[in-house]
């Protein structure tokens, strides 16, 4: 799940962004998982990430990627990591493919 928080945080004072960000994340996850806000638990790594980065200006230009795990009694929200996604689901970006093809063509020209 990806959340773009820029429009909602751009006009806030930097001291209030972290608390507001956590609220916005909970609202978006509640809408996404169709559950109650009270059942949503934010993982400590995500909380620490927001605490370190939410007040900075560079945080506004990035999108927040999250993993959402829903169980019977709660919904847990974690930072996105490729370890949680199966390897077959992760595709190479076109830029990486071009870079690898460029390296191969340079090696062929030298030989």
Tens digit of pLDDT for each residue in 31-44?
A: 999 999 999 999 99
pTM over 0.85: no
The answer to the question of residue 27 being in a domain is: yes
CA distance 31 to 29: 5
The answer to the question of residue 50 being in a domain is: yes
Termini Cα distance of the chain = 46
CB 78 within 8 Å of CB 66:
yes
The answer to the question of residue 102 being in a domain is: no
Residue 65: the pLDDT is 86
> Mean per-residue pLDDT for 69-85?
79
The residue count of the chain comes to: 111
Residue 111 has pLDDT above 80, yes or no: no
The answer to the question of residue 108 being in a domain is: no
State which residues form the domain around 61. Answer: 2-86
Residue 108 has pLDDT above 80, yes or no: no
Q: What is the CATH number of the domain that holds 29?
A: 3.10.440.10
Tokens read off for 80: 């996105």
């Amino acid at each position: 799940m990806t959340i773009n928080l820029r429009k909602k945080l751009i006009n806030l004072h930097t001291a209030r962004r972290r608390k507001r960000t956590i609220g916005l994340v909970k609202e978006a996850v509640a809408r996404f998982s169709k559950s109650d806000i009270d059942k949503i638990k934010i993982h400590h790594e995500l909380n620490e990430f927001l605490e370190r980065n939410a007040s900075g200006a560079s945080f506004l230009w990035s999108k927040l990627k999250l993993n959402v795990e829903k169980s019977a009694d709660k919904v847990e929200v974690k930072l996105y990591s490729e370890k949680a996604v199966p390897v077959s689901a992760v595709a190479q970006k076109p830029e990486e493919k071009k870079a690898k093809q460029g390296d191969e063509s340079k090696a062929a020209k030298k030989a």
